[in-house]
Amino acid sequence: MSLTTDEKTKLIEKYKTHKGDTGSPEVQVALITERIQRLTKHLEIHPQDVHSRTGLLSMVSKRRRLLNYLQRKDDKRYKSVVNKLNLSK
């Protein structure tokens, strides 16, 4: 369920906004989205896993807060990351 170092590095390279970027909202949203997708697949197989479901809801909330922040600060960047990740509001 967790991301390997190589997978994380590839996502960071794809969504970074400048050289050395590891913490921009775009990168954080991309990493959380990947974790959400993996956890969703896990919960389809194990529907009774309540602790993982709680973690999933927490990650979805965190991603929403990051996206709201990004939309307030720079709507163009927000729309770009939403389109790249195929997220809809």
Are 47 and 40 contacting, i.e. CB atoms less than 8 angstroms apart?
A: no
Q: Look at residue 89 in the predicted model and tell me its pLDDT.
A: 57
**Distance between CA atoms of residues 44 and 32, nearest Å:** 18
Phi/psi class of residue 81: alpha, beta or left (left: φ > 0; alpha: ψ in -120 to 50)? alpha
Domains of the chain as residue ranges with CATH: 5-84 (1.10.287.10)
Q: What is the pTM of this model?
A: 0.92
Tell me which DSSP letter residue 2 carries: P
What would the pLDDT profile of 18-73 be if each residue is shown by its tens digit?
Answer: 999 989 999 999 999 999 999 999 999 999 999 999 999 999 999 999 999 999 99
